[in-house]
Amino acid sequence: MGPLFPTARDQPCFLERSSLIREQWDGQPSLLSAIGSALLDGFMEVIFSYPLYKSLQQIHNDEGWEDVCFDYGRFPFSYIHRHSLLLSHGAPPMSMKRGQHYQNVHSIGFVPDDVMYPSLSAELSYWLERADRPVVFISLGTLTVTSKEDSRMMYQHLTSQDRFYFIWAVKMSVLKDLDITKPPLISKSLFIGQYLPQGKILQHPKVKIFVTHCGANSMLDGIHATKPMITYPGFRDQPIISNILLREKVGKLLKTFTYANLETVLDEMLVETIYSEMLARLQMIKNEQYKLGGYQTAVRVIEQVAEGKIIINRTMSPEDMFGIALYEVIAVCTSMATLFVFAIVGITLCCWQLCQNRTDQSGFKINKKIIKND
């Protein structure tokens, strides 16, 4: 699993996420964005989490394990936290608070290998070697949505400016918006491609800044490469990750996806003293992640659980758990109920308007008939 973002037992994650967004954007999130985030959480629970919980529950029943129910409900809302050991990528302060300990959770750090980080293509390597100005890598993931107009405007500015070199990893929809049929598109100051090797790009010494949507994997890649990050978060855990990067002073926020704002933030970050301080902080966090061992530690922990050397605590109290998934279900149900109310109100208004129109038309026909008879 990725980094853990704890949810207080008395504070639903729906409200916590909203407060985090409010802190970051200096303004209250819209009702639509809050509802959308909750609905997406529910979708992920149904498609991915619930089948996993169901399989674990079947193993639980087959093994005859005692089922201890809590006051906030049974399976699947609390099952995995009580009967599984969770491996968390990364290290404090990125994966959880410094000094914080959670039952049945092991941090394994982040130590990638060549399988995770495939090599650069020959054309990208050649392009990078020729760069004589700071290189900025932009990757907003596969789910972040930018409008066609924003993408086209960004493309025009990136190709016309002469202060930086940019590598822009885009998805298929953006390629279509830019009328690029055969990626990569290569110009003097811009390299656009799909499925670019993010890890290796960030490790290149000429790449100075990482513009990211703040996915958990991207955060880990940026820290491992010790590259300061410009954050442009989307949904779910991304605003939380963005806030952590800002709090640790290893990143700055990009409020809108425009070149003018991007250039301003780049100028702020590339001031020598500020950039050096960010590099130093990133190196400290990277060292914490590296010394935990990564996947080798994960293998060792799994073996120790299988051998009985690490005992899973199946008697945790709710206060010992890092989060309660039931809160997400509450958020989704609340959002769906709100949408249902809006739908009923909308249908009622439409029916009332339709009846009014018919009444008006009937009255007009009656008056017309009376006039004819007269």
> In the chain, where are the structural domains located?
13-109+294-330, 122-291
What are 68-77's contacts with CB under 8 Å, separation 24+? 68/314, 68/315, 70/318, 71/318, 72/318, 72/324, 72/326, 73/326, 76/49, 76/50, 76/325, 77/324, 77/325, 77/326, 77/329
Q: Cβ neighbours of residue 11 under 8 Å, at least 6 residues apart?
A: none
Domain with residues 122-291, CATH architecture = 3-Layer(aba) Sandwich (3.40)
Rounded Cα distance, 33 and 125, in Å: 40
- In the prediction, which pLDDT does 11 show? 31
Low-confidence ranges of the chain (pLDDT < 50): 1-29, 68-78, 323-327, 364
Q: Which two tokens stand for residue 257?
A: 């996806």
- In the prediction, which pLDDT does 226 show? 95
Rounded Cα distance, 73 and 340, in Å: 25
Rounded Cα distance, 7 and 14, in Å: 10
CA distances from 174 to 177, 184, 365 (A): 5, 13, 55
Query: Are 91 and 285 a contacting pair, CB within 8 Å?
Result: yes
Q: Model confidence over 79-104: pLDDT tens digits?
A: 555 667 778 888 878 877 777 677 77
Q: Which two tokens stand for residue 139?
A: 């990757």
Rounded Cα distance, 269 and 249, in Å: 11
Residue 49: CB atoms within 10 Å: 15
Give the position of tokens 């008939």: 369
Question: Of 33, 10, 9, nearest to 21 (Cα)?
Answer: 33
Helical residues (DSSP H) of the chain, grouped into ranges: 13-25, 31-44, 50-63, 79-83, 122-130, 148-160, 172-177, 198-203, 216-224, 238-247, 259-269, 272-291, 295-307, 326-373
Q: Cβ neighbours of residue 205 under 8 Å, at least 6 residues apart?
A: none
Q: Model confidence over 306-317: pLDDT tens digits?
A: 888 988 877 766
